Structure 1
Amino acid sequence: MEKGYSQPDLLMIIGVCQQQISRIEKGADVKLSNLIRVLEGYGLEWQCAPQGTACQLEASC
């Protein structure tokens, strides 16, 4: 997952403030919408699955 982005790089890519990035890095509670924007900045996507089924999800789509 590491792409070597600095906080300023992420701010430009995903359009959230530095405080939000810092809170996510520290493990603080954040809005789901902000977390999704950060994931998209890393080329990832959010997926939701019923408990106990995550290991059954297809690895490649």
Structure 2
Amino acid sequence: MSKPKRGRSLWNLPSRGRGTCPVCHSTRIKLLYPRTKTDGTAVKVCKRCDKAPQSKVDAISAS
């Protein structure tokens, strides 16, 4: 049976939830996973970088 609501929540996000991952710099990839840097700021990363070590997430420049 088909699932008509699958992925529907992405339609409300800017650019359908896609962008450039701040950790691995992949372009046009879904940024759905929130990670928190050590200083407390939250960033959205891709699925692969969701499991990245905290040191890589902290290395993201403030832009």
TM beyond 0.5: no
Which TM-score band (shorter chain)?
Answer: under 0.3
Where is the strand percentage greater, Structure 1 or Structure 2?
2
TM-score, scaled relative to structure 2 = 0.23
TM-score, scaled relative to structure 1 = 0.23
